[in-house]
Structure 1
Amino acid sequence: MSSPCDPQHAPAGDVGAALMVIDSRLKSIHDGNSETDAEQQALMDQFTATLGPEGAKDLLDGACTLIFMFMTWLRKAHEDHDKDVIEYVVPTLVATMRMMPRSVRPEAVPTMAGLVIAAGTGLSPNLWRQQYGEWTEEEMTPLEVTAFLLAEHINRITDDSDFATRMIAEALSSSDEG
């Protein structure tokens, strides 16, 4: 029986824009330059201000699609080693978010953990979240942090600081061709 949270029923959103936001965060963290970080933040704020309600929804759906794609990759990588992705990814993710109380308020952590678990079990994160009501403004930064932390986790596993971004960019490129 098909779930109402099956990814085939979910809008993909603007995955390219969501990837740009996450890639920008990854680069600013790894560059370690606070001037560049402030410039990047100003550019991101300017970009998101121009989106409008429909563009913001597309960006949100795109971030959820990224989370789904990252968790799909992580699930397959863990299964190759007979490990459970939920057991190995979620506790670290939750612990990291709990160390970031200015970016991720404690009440957002369970929602983000649920989102990642939904994606890790093959469900659409945005459809899973939708059953609990509309997204809140307070969940936007934790959603970005979740996508960022998953990308960073993949980059650490592969020992390649651009792997997660490149993987998604290649998937987007091949979907445009086909």
Structure 2
Amino acid sequence: MDPRKVDISRLESLPQDLLGIIVSKVAAASTDDYINCILSCKELGASADDERVLQKLNLAPLVKKPLLSIQYLPLMKKTLAENNPDAHYIKGIIMYFLLTDSDTGLHHLGVSANAGKLEGIYLYAIILLCRGRTVEGKKYLNQLKWTEDTTLVNNCWKKIKI
């Protein structure tokens, strides 16, 4: 905020902490809206590296195509440092299936699952079951209430399969 400006907008007069909260809510809802938001003015753009924003940033386009995340390494590092569930899911997929570092990949998928990322829960549970850790795998599948209704599990499978 420039104190020499005579006409300060209401947005510019808000504290940076509050702007960080606002931008984090936008970032959680839509990647496109987040980009438009931080490009709209300097005050909102300054919140792009806010820890709350990086933690909640919706990385849905990269979740659908994890290999694209290689083009966004600085963003991935920042979001991983802030424990973004989408970032851990993406990292887990790449480490487990592409780089064949199954222990590290499983760790990241577990972090994603524990944060409540549905696809992370599903994939983590299935991998645990395949590795013979049935009790733990079933515990994660039960979070998806698969015994009552398989709709959620089927949706997770469809998203992952793509």
Same fold (TM over 0.5): no
Computing the radius of gyration from Cα coordinates, the structure with the larger value is 2
TM superposition score normalised by structure 1: 0.24
* TM-score, scaled to structure 2: 0.26
